[in-house]
Amino acid sequence: MSDYEGSQGESSMTRENVAEIGEDSPLALQILDYFRRHPQAKDSVEGIARFWVDADPVDVSHALEKLVELDLISKRKNASRDLYATGVEKQSA
């Protein structure tokens, strides 16, 4: 069983989801685009804010929580911080 909340590993993104996200948070669309281009990516709020979208971590946190709520990405509890991902991970050999 995965430690991730949210995404089931399949994209539940619909045009309605994208339209809703775009109206509420253009930043969330930037984050989704990064995940689309890098489906194995995962990072913390701080990492996403600094390296992916160059935005304020508070704004990034709100955008990420919206994406988790819509089941478009996953949030994994880590010892030191939460990590966000699409739920699509490579299997360890």
Q: Which domains does the chain have, with CATH numbers?
A: 4-85 (1.10.10.10)
Q: What's the maximum distance between 2 C-alpha atoms anywhere in the chain?
A: 42
- Check residues 2 and 6 and name the one with the higher pLDDT: 6
Tokens found for residue 32:
């989704």
User: Among 2-16, 38-52, 55-69, where is mean pLDDT lowest?
Assistant: 2-16
Q: Which of 9-13, 17-21, 62-66 has the highest mean pLDDT?
A: 62-66
For residues 70 and 17, is the Cβ–Cβ distance under 8 A?
yes
Distance CA 69, CA 19 (A): 15
Per 3-state DSSP, the chain is made up of helix, strand and coil in percentages (nearest 5) of 45, 15, 40
Tokens found for residue 27:
């930043």
Per-residue model confidence (pLDDT) at position 14: 66
Half-sphere exposure of 1 (CA within 13 A, CB side): 3
